[in-house]
Structure 1
Amino acid sequence: MTDTMSRIPIAVTPGPTPDGSGEDASALRTLADLLSLADLASELSEQAHRNLAARPTVNAHLGRAREHLTELRSTLGKAEAMLAFNSGRQGTW
């Protein structure tokens, strides 16, 4: 575990669900948690990019990883929006 990772508290525990409970609310919470993890991974990727600026071959791979993270963030956001819409929770999340 890197020094950076040892300072980041990571726990996978159910968070509060929006507008009460239920399967859709729980799924929305899970998607929100996944979005948060994708954001954290993006921040760590940017930090690594800055720290390894003098290593272009490594940064090329980090650039590709950032592209994947951007696509992941977009896809998860669309899934969250679609679930919110389908469950009638749009605007509450």
Structure 2
Amino acid sequence: ALPFRVHQGAITDTPPVEVLQKEVAFEVDEVVVGGGKRVTERRATAWQSAQDDGLSFVYSQKEMQPSSQGYTPHVARVAAACSAIATADLQTPTTYDGVLLNLYP
């Protein structure tokens, strides 16, 4: 069994990818993989946090700084929907303080 639940189709009001591409500052960066080799990611990424709290996100020796504006409008709506689903599922108030966005070619 998976350590999480899948809620397929639970969020129906998602913006088109083209809208997010205009709203979110996606970047393609390098990461460090096995053996210390640096490679360019095959996806574009962005990190947003709910408020300008300065929380960064780090993986594969790549540190992403949050957007200075907090969540963009469409990301805020999706994050709120995820919080509502998690709150109902866990039966305890749940909020997310950050969102990692991935844009695949």
Say whether the fold is shared (TM-score over 0.5): no
More strand by share: 2
Larger Rg: 1
- Provide the TM-score with structure 1 as the length reference: 0.29
